[in-house]
A and B are shown apart, each in its own frame.
Chain A
Amino acid sequence: MKGLARLAAVLALAIVPAVARADIKALEEAAKKEGELTWYVAHYTSEGAEELGAEFTKLYGVKVNVVRTTAQVAYQRLLQDLKNNQAVCDVFSSTDVGHYVRLKAEGKFEKYTPETAAKILPAFQNFDPDGYYHTTSAGLVVLTYNTSKVKAEDAPKKWQDLLDIKWKGKVSTGHPGFSGYVGTWVLMMKNLYGWSYFEKLEKNKPQIGRSINDTVTALNAGERQVAAGADGSTLFSAARGNPLAVSYPSDGSVLIIAPSAIMKGTKHPSAAKLFMEYLDSVEAAKINAKHFAIPLRPEVPPPPGAKPLSEIKTVRPSVAEIDKGIPDVIEQWRDTFGN
């Protein structure tokens, strides 16, 4: 009997995907008819976002209008669109979780759970139990440094090291008023060490850009030597031959789990759904791995040179904290840093 049950289970498992695959086929047909979709995205660098979009087009023949900006700018754009009753954005991918809390509460999302959402690493599943938004990207905020200017043993090992006077004029960060990654990091630091952390950081006169990826270019140029940067963009740039390296802080890398959602009233519902399927797919995970983002599918290994997530100590503010906290820290940041 056991063997029969097992056979039945295996058969069932074989059939279900087949059934599912039939649905996907129908979705693909409908999506191709719609022809295109618009994607507001803050996850990834421009290059990464463009590559994801291009791969989707190659696979399904649907054009992707990649609008890559920092998270707050994307949100601002979206709000303006909504205020003017324009349905421009089909899929919204921001790195500030607070956006999702608010937009969901206002009923601005289309409820859709892609099949692939169940296949990603368990740690990232069920971000929104109601199924309005799903994790499609994850990354870390870590300590990064320029290897030609800083020796590995001198590099900062924990967040507090950035406050050391020896890094005065040599630190680079993004701006929480623009970047969701930076906003989340700032909030985390405030939770861990209080706002005095930033008052002390201010004394080290960091160079403040906008996106967190600005730190990569600042380090590459030699303009600054250490940074609170994103692991993905930093390692990707290092793999290209740039003198960069990552130092995982001992008091915890800040884990950013960033979801995506379909906007309610989207003009391209099938394409949007297909795209959500795609974002959690193996193909997308491969591209993510290539760009040193954390691949969400267990089938895809992390890229060489990157530590697997299980080996890294991570910290993360709760969703509720992010929702309330980021607007506050943006104001505080402006008051402390003058802009």
Chain B
Amino acid sequence: MTVAVSSVGTSAARPIRLSFDSTWLLWVGIIAVLLFLVVSPFVYLVITSFSAQGTGEFTFANYATAYGRARYIDALLNSLKLGAAAAALAGVFAVPLAWAVARTDMPGRGLTRILVLATFITPPYTGAVAWILLAGPNAGWLNRFFMLLTGAEAGPFNIYSFTGLAIVIALYSFPYIFIFTTAALELVSSEMEDAANILGAGAWRTMRRVTLPLALPAILGGLIICFLEAIALFGSPAMIAIPARFNVVTTQLFQFFGNPVRVEVAAAYAMPLLGVTVLLILVQRLLTRRKGFVALTGKGGERRPIRLGRWRWAMFGYAMLVATLSVFLPYLFLLQAAFAKAWGRGFSLDNLSLRNFHFVLFEHATAAQSVINSFLYAGAAATAAVILTLGVAYIVTRRLVPFGGILGFLCVAPFVIPGVVLAIGFYAAYAPPPLALYGTALILILAFTTRFLPIGFVNASAAIRSLNPEMEEAVRVLGGSRLTALRRVVAPLLKRSLLGAWLLIFIPATRELSAAIFLYGPNTKVASVMIFDMSEEGNFEYLAALALILQVLTLPLLWIGMKALGRDFMLRRNAT
């Protein structure tokens, strides 16, 4: 005979305390900040798109201008096509690699992971520069090599083409799909596969009928993320599409900020980008909700890798091929250019020079400063984002206010706003008076913080959810406020996770271009903008030197992250 015990869930909604707790001030402050960072720019963006320039009265004229010219619509279509092509290619690169690394006995899995990480920390515009060196139609190294081998007049590779751009984008965004796919494959309980095996299914049939279908929603999710990245990129399309003579949304937006500045038209033009993003995120959510695809129960036991037999080496070869395209070749020729007097002259002793580094570091007034700026702003943004999202995640997870879900939503919302659009929103909202943040470091830091709120929030919520609330209740029973509990118990316990989130924000923030290109001022140039500017004179030697400096400076941070959080901390869905 059992006695029924009604369980009082510790996470049940508590009634709001009527007594005044000074912690409430803090919570209200946080909510105000969120509104400032996320809601306001978005609202301004929408309002601006309907405002006439100068007068501010309501008008549809901006939309008419934005979609009036065939060239502008072409740019939009080009972006969509580019996104699809890049995502598909990235899938081709990533999915086999992810499967091989997560599920098989392919040799060199650890090496492959490291190489994917190296790809991940390479900014797409650096990759674009390297590929210009590699595949410029006449002078590119690959073409020269081909001509040497075959004696042909011209090489087959032309980076200045739609295909070229799609490949470059795919090469530097495939790690996203890799991360999503490995996470999904590792979540699929091995009992699912064991069950198929014991019923007679061999490795391939099991993969086909059990593993891949279960991982499919995550893979599709990764493809969608890739697509969204591709359409929001500015640097690589600007460097490649202009000579390739086609336009995409981001380069077109840049033109609207040209001569004269037409923020209103830019805002109107940016709306479809936002719309497409929101739509696709919804689709991705829908995909993963159906059929309860989360299958992470059970002990798992030993994970048995699939034996590939002879195919092990073929798979390894494929992995090395992808790594060659994304890491080995690009960095080799970036190094060559950085140490060359004129990169076109090739590998010869008299072409070696340290002049480029000297120029960039000591002679160029703003280059060295731009690197410092990058790190300073990224650090400030990462700190702000981590603290803010910790607070919000705490409020939401512990249900301290009604409708906490909305706060969580606000924190994650910037994910659906492409960096470019976010920047324009910030520009519209905060550059002019009353705040007059134009050209200041603050507007850049705010934009970066907002851009990376989602990462911070996802990490913080996962981490707080893993904590037992009773530990904080123990503090409060003994007389401490919630803030004390947060400061003295929660934050110290979550040190690792917070560090991980900080790094996960800091590292991408140092190389952010799409948002920075619209918000920087002459004194607040960051390294990514500097690199882009340098590309306008085609000075690839200086460019390569600066890009390599940026990469080298990132390595110690990566090392710290790996020491504190494990070798693959950047390749996991969250840092915990």
Which residues in A have some Cβ–Cβ distance to B below 8 Å?
A: 38, 40, 45-47, 50, 53-54, 64-67, 69-70, 72-73, 75-77, 79-81, 83-86, 88-89, 169-170, 175, 177-178, 207-211, 213-214, 216-218, 220-224, 240-242, 327, 334-335, 337-339
The reply on B344 being an interface residue by CB < 8 A is: yes
In this assembly, does B521 line the interface, its C-beta being within 8 Å of a C-beta of chain A? yes
Whole-angstrom CA separation of A18 from B139 in the bound complex? 57
CA distance A228 to B192 in the complex (A): 66
The bracket for how many chain B residues form the interface is: 35 or more
Q: How far is the CA of A50 from the CA of B362 in the complex (A)?
A: 11
Considering only CB atoms, which chain B residue lies closest to A63 in the complex? Answer: B365
Asked whether B439 lies within 8 Å of A88 as measured between CB atoms, the reply is: yes
Min CB distance A304 to B, Å, is 21
Please report B residues at the A interface, Cβ cutoff 8 Å: 71, 136-140, 154, 160, 241-243, 245-247, 251, 255, 257-261, 341-344, 359, 363-366, 431-433, 436, 438-439, 521-523, 533-540, 542
Most chain A beta-carbon neighbours within 10 Å: one of B246, B436, B533: B533
Tell me which residues across on chain B come within 8 A of A335, comparing CB atoms.
71
B428 → chain A closest CB, angstroms: 12
21 contacts between A and B (CB under 8 A): A47-B359, A53-B365, A65-B522, A69-B536, A76-B259, A77-B522, A79-B261, A83-B432, A84-B439, A86-B436, A88-B523, A207-B243, A209-B243, A209-B537, A210-B242, A211-B538, A217-B540, A221-B540, A223-B139, A223-B344, A339-B241
Closest to B369 in A: A65
**In whole angstroms, how far apart are the Cα atoms of A245 and B86 in the complex?**
41
A79-B137 CB under 8 A given contacts A67-B366, A67-B522, A69-B533:
no
- A213 and B537 contact, CB distance less than 8 A: yes
**A75 nearest CB neighbor, chain B only:** B259
Question: How many angstroms from the CA of A66 to the CA of B534 in the assembled complex?
Answer: 14
Most buried by A among B245, B438, B540: B245
What residues of chain B lie closer than 8 Å to A84, measured between beta carbons? Answer: 431-433, 436, 438-439
Complex partner residue of B438 from A76, A86, A207, A216, CB under 8 angstroms: A86
In the complex, which of the residues B139, B242, B533, B540 contacts A175, with contact meaning CB atoms closer than 8 Å?
A: B242
- Give the contacting residue for B258; candidates A177, A221, A338; CB below 8 A: A177
- The smallest beta-carbon distance between A212 and chain B, in angstroms, is 9
Counting from the closest, the 3 A-B pairs by CB-CB distance are A217-B538, A221-B344, A84-B438
Do the beta carbons of B538 and A213 come within 8 Å of each other?
A: yes
Q: Is the interface of A mostly helix, strand, loop or mixed?
A: mixed
Once the chains bind, are A222 and B536 in contact (CB under 8 Å)?
no
Interfacial chain A residues near B136, Cβ < 8 Å: 221, 223
Alpha-carbon distance A20/B258, docked complex (angstroms): 42
- Given the known interface contacts A76-B261, A209-B243, the answer about A220 and B366 at a Cβ–Cβ threshold of 8 Å is no
Asked if A220 contacts B258 (CB within 8 A), the reply is: no
Give complex CA distance A220, B260 in Å. Answer: 34
Min distance, Cβ B502 to any Cβ of chain A, angstroms: 32
Bound Cα distance from A66 to B260, whole angstroms: 23
- Please tell me if the beta carbons of A214 and B538 are within 8 angstroms of each other in the complex: yes
Least Cβ–Cβ distance between A293 and chain B, in angstroms: 15
Question: In the bound complex, how far is the Cα of B366 from the Cα of A38, in angstroms?
Answer: 12
Residues of B contacting A221 with CB < 8 Å? Answer: 136, 139, 342-344, 538, 540
Are A338 and B245 touching (Cβ within 8 A)? yes
Let me know if B366 and A66 touch, CB within 8 A: yes
- Point out the residue from B247, B341, B537 that lies within 8 Å of A339, measured CB to CB: B247
Inter-chain contacts of B433 with A (CB < 8 A): 84-85
Q: Report how far A76 CA is from B262 CA in the complex, Å.
A: 11
Task: Choose among A38, A209, A214, A240 the residue that contacts B341 (Cβ–Cβ < 8 A).
Answer: A240
- Among A64, A224, A338, contact of B365 (Cβ-Cβ < 8 Å): A64
Which residues of chain A are within 8 angstroms of B537 by Cβ–Cβ distance?
A: 45-46, 209-211, 213-214, 216-217
Whether A338 and B247, one on each chain, are in contact in the complex, defined by CB atoms closer than 8 angstroms, is yes
State whether A211 touches B536 (Cβ < 8 A). Answer: yes
